[in-house]
Chain A
Amino acid sequence: MEKPDKYDSLYIMLSPTIRCNLSCKYCYVNQDVPRSYSDMNINDIKFIYKWVKDYAELIKINRIQLEWFGGEPLVMGGSFIDNAIEAQQDFFNLNEYQIHNTIQTNLLLADKDENIQLLKKHFRSYVSGSMDYRGGLRIMKNGKDSTPKVLKNIQYLQEKGISVGLVCTLTKTNIDYVDEMYDFFKSHHIDFRVNRAAHVDNPDLQSSVISTKEYSKAVMHLFQRYANDENPDIRFANFDMMVRLYLMGLSDICVTVTKPHLHLAFEANGRLFSRCRFVDQIGNYQKEQPQVILSRFKDMTSSRVAPQACSSCSFFNKTCMGGCFGERNLDCFHSDCGYRGETNKDLWEFLDNFLTTQGYEYGAYRK
């Protein structure tokens, strides 16, 4: 296992519930959730904190990013999450540990007073939501598109002084409107990143899923829009992330490839995953000690084999390592990642050419 470097932090995804008030057509969560699944209670959360503290000590990391996820985390109630975050100081000496809480929400409940207070108190008045511009696949339980309600809530949050970023999924429905999408997000002061829809077992979805090439073409077009914007008042996260890594000369695009032990996803009933739970369950935190899980990661790292499709790519060692951008792909490094690698290659070629032409050097801001 590599020694931690100064950039390393432990990334924790914590899903106190997998319940959700939406029924998005591309949702992957309900595919593999046991019927016995329950919500976490505050004692479950505290158990996880203790486990994470022991694990962090083991790997000598004192920087923790904790992302509240779901399901929809806000169905737990703002006061539950408030209490849960307050309890962190009982387990972590905050002079010694730096804990950065973030939340990913569908924003449907974001207009409630307790949630507004929560976002101000614990999330630095910034919320990352999910909404697909011209999407139509994020459906409420009553069958209606959630977008109008979410837009209304975004406006309300902004009026209350809370900044909003959005994760927007690209599908056949909206991929022809990326220019309009960019203008919309910019005019509404919304940071955004784009993803592809995951491959889920939903026949209704198949006609909506875009190809690797369609995706990279759309992202490159957005790169051009953003990079040539004279007044880029918002952040297009896909571009920012890749340029940042390029300039800093970091090859571990997806640290889940090179440092999988830094990524843990906790669900109820002890279910513990690596890599944002997109791959196999790695263990059970209620039954297994951190040392056991860590040794399992060591086995995972040593058995890793690069995809054949990556072997001839000039960006593999330089910028990519076959990792993903968290772009919602279920295929992973250890299996067949051909189509994701194709996306990576397209985007790195574009950026490498763009940045070199503009006079920027790879690794120029390496620390």
Chain B
Amino acid sequence: MKKNKVVNQIVDSIVREGTAVNLAGWHTDAWKMPQ
């Protein structure tokens, strides 16, 4: 059962937006670059 609210939000983000992953940036929003 996948029930965690926070993780589900991340799943939604992956499915809905598609997300580039780049952790080098210091920026708190750096990985949020839309595809």
Contact = CB atoms under 8 A, between A and B. Distances in A.
Given A6-B35, A126-B29, A227 B4 contact: yes
Contacts of B5: 229-230, 232
Contact of A193 (B14, B15, B28): B28
B14 to A, nearest CB: 5
A300 interface: no
B12 to A, nearest CB: 10
A245 to B, nearest CB: 6
Interface footprint category on B: 20 to 34
Interface in B1-35: 1-7, 9-11, 13-15, 18-31, 33-35
A250 interface: yes
Contacts of A208: none
Interface residues of A, number: 54
B23 A226 contact: no
Contacts, number: 119
Given A245-B21, A247-B11, A359 B26 contact: no
A255 B24 contact: yes
A28 interface: no
A237 B28 contact: yes
A245 B31 CA distance: 11
Given A9-B33, A230-B5, A255 B27 contact: no
Given A9-B20, A276-B26, 18 more contacts: A9-B22, A11-B25, A63-B33, A65-B20, A65-B33, A128-B26, A165-B27, A192-B28, A227-B4, A229-B5, A241-B21, A245-B23, A250-B21, A254-B23, A254-B24, A326-B25, A358-B3, A365-B15
Interface of B: 1-7, 9-11, 13-15, 18-31, 33-35
Interface of A: 6-7, 9, 11, 13, 63, 65, 67, 69, 98, 100, 102-104, 126, 128, 165-167, 191-193, 226-227, 229-230, 232, 235, 237, 239-241, 243-245, 247-248, 250, 253-256, 263, 275-276, 323, 325-326, 355, 358-360, 365, 367
